[in-house]
Amino acid sequence: DLATSLNNRGQIKYFRVEFAAAMEDYTAAIQCQPGFEVPYYNRGLVLYRLGCFDEAIKDFRKVLELNPQFEDAALSLKQAILDKEEKQKRGY
C-alpha cells in the first residue's frame, strides 16, 4: 500500500544519509495511514540522530501507544530520554 511504499522509500533515503528527505517520506506515510507505527519509529530514529530528542521521544511514545509490544521503540525511547538528560546536564 501507499504508506508502506512511502516508509520503504524513506528507509532508502535514510541509509543514504538523506535525513530531511527520509523524514518527508515518513511523515507522508504517517499522514496516509496514521495508525501505522513503523514510520513513527523510523522518523523518531532520524530525529534522535539529529539530536532532536523531544521530537524523537514524542514519536517513540506514539509508536508504543499504537503498539505497546514494539520493543525497539521502547529501547529507543529510554535511550532518547537518557541522552536528553545528559545533554541538559552538560548545559547545551
Q: What is the pLDDT along the chain (92 residues), one digit of tens a residue?
A: 999 999 999 999 999 999 999 999 999 999 999 999 999 999 999 999 999 999 999 999 999 999 999 999 999 999 999 999 999 999 87
State the pLDDT at residue 91: 82
State the pLDDT at residue 24: 98
pTM for the structure as a whole: 0.94
State the pLDDT at residue 73: 98
- Spatial distance between the Cα atoms of 51 and 87, rounded to a whole number of angstroms: 9
Which grid cell sits at 41? 519509529
Domains of the chain: 2-90 (1.25.40.10)
Backbone angles phi, psi at 90, to 5 degrees: -80, -10
Angle between helices 53-66 and 71-89 (to 10 degrees): 160
